[in-house]
C-alpha cells in the first residue's frame, strides 16, 4: 500500500510497534543525536521527539532505521518485492519489440513506465497552509540538529534538494546536507559528483542564479529516491512513483519555478548565486569521521511554506551502521542488482557492508566463465555511476554468499595470492574520503578472490586447486529431518559451504555455458 506522506509513515510505524514517542524535553544540540545513536545501534524503534528546546515543532528521527521499516515505508513486505518488479521491467525493456505495430501491441506491458510521471496538482496544497516570506523566515526556530561536538553548527540532514538543469530543464532531487548559517542562509554541501552540483556549475558558467527548493517530508518513496544512485536521465520523483505504484503529487512552489511534493511537511525556497560561497563544515559524516567541509554555495532562503501542524524530519549519521545504511545502502543494493545484472549478466550478487561506509568496500559474487573475468567484472562495476567511487572491490565465485560478509572474506582470503590477485589502480573517489592522496581522487584495489583457472597461474604449477569441504547432501537432509529428535532446540540450518558447482576442473576445461541462449 502506497504511503502518501510522513503522517502515513508515522501511523504505519505506530501500528507496527516500531515508533516510540519521547515526551521529555530534549536539546537539539548533541542530546538528540546521542539518544538516536544508542537506539539505532541497538536495533531500536523510530523516534518522535515531541518537545525539542527552541522550537515549536516535533522532530521525527530514525524512521528508516531497519530493513523492516524501509520496506514498510515503501509499502511492501520486503524490498525484494520491488527488486523483482524492477527486474521484470528491465527484462521487458530489453525485449521491447521493434516496429510501430509491435510496439503498440505491447502497450499493456509498458503500463508501469507510464505510471512513473508525477502529477502537478492545482489549488492549495497541504504544504502551503502556512506561507512565510523574507524576514518572516527564521531557520533557527526549526528543530535542526547538531549531531557531534566537532560539527560546525546545526544541519538539515534528510532533505530533498530540488533543482532544475538551466540548459535542459531536467529535474534533479538529491539528499545534500545543509548547514544553518543564519535565519535565512544555508551552506549547501552538494558534492562534485552529484546532479545538484552539475546544475549549479552550468548556472555559474552563464552567470545566473540557480533556484532551489528544499523539502522535508512527503511521500516516503521520494525520500528514498532522492538518495538512490539512479542512472542519469531518470527523474527521482518518477522513480518514486514506480516504487509506490502511484504517481507522486507535486505542486508549484510559491516563489521559485520548481515543483515540490504537495504533501511535504515544509519547503524552503530560494536561490544560489554564482559566486556566493561560505565555509561549510566540519561535519561528522556517515563514514564515522569528521568531513572538513570547505567552500560551498549559500542558499538564500526567500520563503518557507509548511503544513499548519508540521513535523520536522532529521537523520543522525556517524559511525555505521546508522539509519542511512538501511535507507540508502542496504535498499539500493537490493533494488539495483537487476540493473547491474542487465549490464554485467555474470554478476550473481553484490553487498556493500555497513563497515564499508558506502564507498570503501563492495563484495561481488559472480559466475566465472573464463580467465581474467573477475577483473573484467570489477572494472565494469567501476564504470557504473556512483559505484565508480568505490575504493576496494572483492570478487568471489557464484556459490559464495556475500551477505553477511564473513563467507565472502573466508573464500576471498583463501583463494588469493596477494602478489598475483591484488590489483591497484587510480580513479575518482568520494569527497568524504579523507585518506585519498588528493581531493576526491586516489587509489583503488581489486581483490580477485575467485578460484583460479590454469591460465591465471604460474606456468608449471603442479598443485591442484582444492574444492571446499562440503557435507554429503543426503546427510544434510537426514539431519534436517531428524533435528527435533536431538533435543537441541530450533534447527539453525546447515552452515557449510555449498558445492562449487560450475567451478573449472584442474584440467582447465571450461564449464558448459549455463545460459547458452542468454544475452552475453
H/E stretch holding 188:
strand 185-188
Predicted pLDDT of residue 438: 86
Rounded distance between C-alpha atoms, residue 286 and residue 316, angstroms? 9
Residue 520 has pLDDT above 60, yes or no: no
Least confident of 7-21, 188-202, 395-409: 188-202
Residue boundaries of the structural domains of the chain: 6-314, 344-456
Q: Identify the architecture of domain 6-314 in CATH.
A: Roll (2.30)
Determine the length of the chain.
520
pLDDT confidence band for 87 (50 / 70 / 90): confident
C-beta of residue 28 within 8 angstroms of C-beta of residue 144: yes
Residue 285 has pLDDT above 50, yes or no: yes
Residue 225 has pLDDT above 50, yes or no: yes
Most confidently modeled range among 98-107, 308-317, 355-364: 308-317
Model confidence pLDDT, tens digit, residues 138-192: 999 999 999 999 999 999 999 999 999 999 999 999 999 999 999 999 999 988 7
Active site residues: 285
Q: Which residue from 350, 338, 333, 428 is spatially nearest to 390, judged by alpha carbons?
A: 428
Predicted pLDDT of residue 90: 66
C-beta of residue 272 within 8 angstroms of C-beta of residue 417: no
Predicted pLDDT of residue 354: 84
pLDDT confidence band for 104 (50 / 70 / 90): very low
Q: Average pLDDT over the chain, rounded to whole?
A: 86
Predicted pLDDT of residue 91: 65
Q: Which residue from 3, 59, 4 is spatially nearest to 29, judged by alpha carbons?
A: 59
Rounded distance between C-alpha atoms, residue 150 and residue 318, angstroms? 12
Model confidence pLDDT, tens digit, residues 301-313: 999 999 999 999 9
**Which set of grid coordinates corresponds to residue 495?**
552452515
Q: Tell whether pTM > 0.85.
A: no
3-state secondary structure 28-58: CECHHHHHHHHHHHCCCCEEEECCECCCCCC
Q: How far is CA 313 from each of CA 62, 63, 208, 215, 345, rounded to the nearest angstrom? A: 9, 9, 31, 10, 39
Model confidence pLDDT, tens digit, residues 245-278: 889 999 999 999 999 999 999 999 999 999 899 9
Q: How many CB atoms lie within 10 A of CB 150?
A: 11
C-beta of residue 33 within 8 angstroms of C-beta of residue 145: yes
Span between the terminal Cα atoms of the chain, in Å: 37
C-beta of residue 243 within 8 angstroms of C-beta of residue 305: no
Predicted pLDDT of residue 496: 64
3-state secondary structure 250-304: EEECCCCCCEEECCCCEEEEEEEEEEEEEEECCEECCCCCEECCEEEEEEEEEEE
Matching fold, domains 6-314 and 344-456 = no
Q: How far is CA 238 from each of CA 234, 334, 397, rounded to the nearest angstrom? A: 7, 19, 36
C-beta of residue 155 within 8 angstroms of C-beta of residue 287: no
Residue 69 has pLDDT above 60, yes or no: yes
Phi-psi region of 17 (alpha: psi -120 to 50; beta: other; left: phi over 0): left
Identify the CATH number of the domain defined by range 344-456. 3.40.1670.10
Least confident of 181-195, 362-376, 473-487, 501-515: 501-515
Phi-psi region of 82 (alpha: psi -120 to 50; beta: other; left: phi over 0): alpha
C-beta of residue 188 within 8 angstroms of C-beta of residue 298: yes
Question: Which one is predicted more confidently, 289 or 231?
Answer: 289
Rounded distance between C-alpha atoms, residue 132 and residue 368, angstroms? 60
Predicted pLDDT of residue 415: 93
Predicted pLDDT of residue 320: 84
Phi-psi region of 333 (alpha: psi -120 to 50; beta: other; left: phi over 0): alpha
Query: Which residues pair with residue 179 across a beta bridge?
Result: 155, 187
CA dihedral 216, 146, 269, 207 (to 10 degrees): -130
Model confidence pLDDT, tens digit, residues 332-362: 888 888 878 888 899 999 998 888 777 889 9
Amino acid at each position: 500500500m502506497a504511503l502518501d506522506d510522513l503522517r502515513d509513515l508515522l501511523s504505519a510505524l505506530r501500528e507496527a510497534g516500531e515508533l516510540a514517542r519521547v515526551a521529555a524535553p530534549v536539546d537539539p544540540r548533541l542530546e538528540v543525536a546521542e539518544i538516536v545513536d544508542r537506539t539505532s545501534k541497538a536495533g531500536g524503534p523510530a523516534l518522535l521527539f515531541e518537545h525539542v528546546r527552541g522550537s515549536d515543532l516535533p522532530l521525527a528521527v530514525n524512521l528508516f532505521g531497519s530493513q523492516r521499516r524501509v520496506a514498510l515505508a515503501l509499502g511492501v513486505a520486503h524490498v525484494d518485492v520491488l527488486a523483482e518488479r524492477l527486474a521484470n521491467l528491465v527484462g521487458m525493456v530489453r525485449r521491447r519489440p521493434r516496429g510501430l505495430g509491435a510496439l503498440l501491441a505491447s502497450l499493456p506491458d509498458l503500463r508501469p513506465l507510464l505510471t512513473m510521471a508525477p502529477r502537478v496538482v492545482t489549488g492549495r496544497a497541504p504544504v502551503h497552509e502556512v506561507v512565510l516570506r523574507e524576514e518572516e523566515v527564521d531557520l533557527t526556530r526549526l528543530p535542526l540538529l547538531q549531531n557531534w561536538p566537532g560539527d560546525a553548527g546545526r544541519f538539515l540532514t534528510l532533505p530533498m534538494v530540488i533543482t532544475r538543469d538551466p540548459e535542459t530543464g531536467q529535474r534533479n532531487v538529491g539528499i545534500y546536507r545543509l548547514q544553518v548559517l543564519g535565519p535565512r542562509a544555508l551552506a549547501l554541501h552538494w558534492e562534485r559528483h552529484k546532479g545538484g552540483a552539475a546544475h549549479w556549475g552550468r548556472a555559474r558558467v552563464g552567470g545566473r542564479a540557480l533556484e532551489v527548493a528544499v523539502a522535508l517530508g512527503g511521500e516516503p518513496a521520494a525520500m528514498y529516491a532522492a538518495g538512490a544512485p539512479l542512472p542519469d536521465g531518470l527523474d527521482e520523483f518518477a522513480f518514486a512513483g514506480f516504487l509506490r505504484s502511484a504517481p507522486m503529487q507535486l505542486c508549484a512552489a510559491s516563489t521559485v519555478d520548481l515543483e515540490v511534493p504537495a504533501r511535504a511537511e515544509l519547503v524552503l525556497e530560494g536561490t544560489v548565486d554564482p559566486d556566493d560561497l561560505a565555509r561549510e563544515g566540519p561535519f561528522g559524516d556517515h563514514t564515522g569521521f569528521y568531513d572538513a567541509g570547505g567552500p560551498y554555495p549559500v542558499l538564500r532562503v526567500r520563503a518557507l511554506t509548511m503544513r499548519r501542524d508540521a513535523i520536522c524530519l532529521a537523520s543522525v549519521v556517524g559511525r555505521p551502521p546508522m539509519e542511512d545504511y538501511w535507507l540508502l545502502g542496504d535498499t539500493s543494493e537490493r533494488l539495483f542488482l537487476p540493473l547491474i545484472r542487465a549490464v554485467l549478466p555474470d554478476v550473481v550478487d553484490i553487498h556493500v557492508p555497513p563497515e564499508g561506509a558506502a564507498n570503501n568496500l563492495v563484495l561481488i559474487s559472480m559466475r566465472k566463465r573464463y580467465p581474467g573475468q573477475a577483473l573484467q567484472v570489477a572494472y565494469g562495476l567501476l564504470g557504473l555511476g556512483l559505484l565508480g567511487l568505490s575504493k576496494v572491490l572483492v570478487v568471489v565465485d557464484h556459490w559464495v554468499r556475500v551477505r553477511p560478509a564473513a563467507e565472502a572474506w573466508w573464500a576471498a582470503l583463501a583463494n588469493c595470492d596477494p602478489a598475483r590477485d591484488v590489483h591497484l589502480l587510480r580513479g575518482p573517489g568520494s569527497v568524504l574520503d579523507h585518506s585519498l592522496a588528493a581531493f576526491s581522487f586516489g587509489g583503488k584495489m581489486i581483490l580477485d578472490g575467485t578460484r583460479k583457472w590454469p591460465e591465471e597461474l604460474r606456468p608449471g604449477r603442479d598443485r591442484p586447486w582444492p574444492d571446499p569441504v562440503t557435507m554429503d547432501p543426503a546427510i544434510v537432509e537426514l539431519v534436517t529431518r531428524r533435528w527435533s529428535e536431538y533435543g537441541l532446540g530450533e534447527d539453525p540450518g546447515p552452515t557449510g559451504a555449498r558445492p562449487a558447482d560450475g567451478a573449472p576442473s584442474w584440467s582447465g576445461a571450461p564449464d558448459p555455458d549455463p545460459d547458452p541462449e542468454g544475452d552475453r
